[in-house]
Amino acid sequence: EFMAADEIRESFLKYFESKGHTIVKSASIIPENDPTLLFVNAGMVPFKNVFLGLEERPYKRAASCQKVFRVSGKHNDLENVGYTPRHHTFFEMLGNFSFGDYFKKEAIEFTWDYLTNYLKIPQEKLLVSVFEEDDEAFEIWNKVIGLPEEKIKRMGYKDNFWSMGDTGPCGPSSEIYYDRGEKFGNPEFGSDEDFRYLEIWNLVFMQYNRDESGNLTPLPNPSIDTGMGLERIASVIQQVDSNYDTDLFKPIIRFAEEIAGKTYGKNEKDDVAMRVIADHLRAITFLISDGVLPSNEGRGYVLRRILRRALRYGRNLGIDRPFLYEGVDVVIDKMKNAYPELVPNRNYIKKITKSEEEKFIKTLRRSMDILYQMIETAKKEGRKFLTGEEVFKLYDTYGFPIDLLQDILRDESMTFNIKEFEELILEQKERSRKAFKTTAKQVKPIYLQLKSRLPENEFIGYNTLISESSKV
């Protein structure tokens, strides 16, 4: 039998412990004292100040399995979730770290040793990328490890220079890929559509700090930061083609099947919906457990959006009632060995989830039918878009969330006339201003307010509910 994810997580930490690393427990998904970040998006985040030399720890080598969430800022995978076999919003990142201790050679040797001797991945299935200017990393892979030249790809800045965000620690990287074989054709290496070469592990040679104006200054000590997605390595070890077929996701997919009364693997559209639900269920569970509450700003807004998105995909499967809160149990039962803190939070997480579901379903029922009528009409008329007027009606009269609308239209291969829609919004504002000269300036359409609620680079779409939309 193949190793289960619980065993892989443990084996990774044990391996690095045997190599002098201190095992550090996952930090919360909510970053501590870091205003540059909404969520922890990589295993290195809790160690950021150690890399920067601002904080001392009693160890120079560490290993962790960190809860991460990639739905904002520089690392945002939301659009990929459900559509690629390898992307999640919430996932677990295994990592080993050196704070001014070992550097490239040892980092590469550890990686190779662990993958080929401990996990027993056949060497011929592995290939790597290095930053195009990094001759040193190239030489180590080629001469020390003995990897043939054709299996070492030199890649540019975009792919092989890793940074946490717009500021903070960064450096050239080297990534390890697993070749799933020719049945996936010859896709462009590393692209979102590349389902053949699976990136499993990223080794970052942390050498710089980037400041607000983009300048790079060398870190006090060259360091190592690595990240390997547990779900991805589990898919390799368990010899399945998708993270969603690993033991981490199977029970959650089964839950989605049961609740929808459908079988996974029969129809691509249903499968996407089940994968989105499975992914978002894990995210919802861990976000609430770490203290996020649904709201209209910041982290709470992201949680709200994820939850509504899951419900919307549930609707695609014909589910028209609160159901996510039941799925929370499935997630907790799967994850509780590694994250025992979920257990005492169980009822709380379910309660928050259920009440948010009820609230949203009520609003959605009213407006969804109208939207689908509009889509039908557009199709009959041979239009691949909704008019600004139609969208304005949905938004203004029925309070339909615009980000949700964008998602739905994408599934129908349609768009909407944003320019016309925004003009109507401004016109309405103007009308209101004239009609209620005294009160108008106190209230702005909610979608305009929204921009200011999130940091500039975190803006992730329009959102409103009829109860919140301002009728000035």
Q: Could you say which of 93, 147, 234, 319 contacts ligand ATP (CB under 6 A)? A: 93
Radius of gyration of the chain measured on its C-alpha atoms: 24
Match 């939301």 to its residue by tokens.
Answer: 78
User: Using H for helix, E for strand and C for coil, what is the string for 32-83?
Assistant: CCCCCCCCCCCCCHHHHHHHCCCCCCCCCEEEEEEEEECEECCEECHHHECC
Cα end-to-end span (Å), the chain: 64
Q: Does 97 bind ligand ATP (CB under 6 A)?
A: no
Q: Which residue has the closest beta carbon to ligand ATP?
A: 229
* Residue with smaller CB distance to ligand ATP, 199 or 270: 199
Q: Does 21 bind ligand ATP (CB under 6 A)?
A: no
How far apart, in whole angstroms, are the C-alpha atoms of residue 312 and residue 306?
Answer: 10
Q: Does 231 bind ligand ATP (CB under 6 A)?
A: yes
Q: Does 202 bind Mg ion (CB under 5 A)?
A: yes
Do residues 407 and 400 make contact, with C-beta atoms less than 8 angstroms apart? no
In the list Mg ion, ligand ATP, none, the entry touching 88 (Cβ below 5 to 8 angstroms by class) is: ligand ATP
* Residue with smaller CB distance to ligand ATP, 66 or 463: 66
Determine the Cα angle at 345 with ends 320 and 282, to 5°.
Answer: 50
* Residue with smaller CB distance to Mg ion, 73 or 445: 73
Task: Please name the residues in contact with 309: beta carbons below 8 A apart, sequence gap of 6 or more.
Answer: 276, 280, 404, 407
- What are the beta bridge partners of residue 229? 93
Q: Does 87 bind ligand ATP (CB under 6 A)?
A: yes
Q: Does 70 bind ligand ATP (CB under 6 A)?
A: yes
Q: Does 77 bind ligand ATP (CB under 6 A)?
A: yes
Do residues 64 and 283 make contact, with C-beta atoms less than 8 angstroms apart? no
Q: Which residue has the closest beta carbon to Mg ion?
A: 202
* Residue with smaller CB distance to ligand ATP, 280 or 350: 280
In the list ligand ATP, Mg ion, none, the entry touching 87 (Cβ below 5 to 8 angstroms by class) is: ligand ATP
Footprint (CB under 6 A) of ligand ATP, residues 192-221: 199-202
* Residue with smaller CB distance to Mg ion, 163 or 202: 202
How far apart, in whole angstroms, are the C-alpha atoms of residue 265 and residue 258?
Answer: 14
* Residue with smaller CB distance to Mg ion, 70 or 309: 70
* Residue with smaller CB distance to Mg ion, 31 or 190: 190
Kind of pairing between the strands at 126-131 and 152-155: parallel
CB of 246 to ligand ATP, least distance (A): 11
Judged by CB under 5 A, the stretch of 107-115, 117-125, 197-205, 265-273 that binds Mg ion is 197-205
Task: Report how far apart, in Å, the C-alpha atoms of 420 and of each of 391, 394, 430 are.
Answer: 9, 14, 15
Residues of this chain that interact with Mg ion (CB under 5 A) are 199, 202
Residues lying near ligand ATP in the complex (CB under 6 A): 70, 77, 86-88, 91, 93, 199-202, 227-229, 231-232
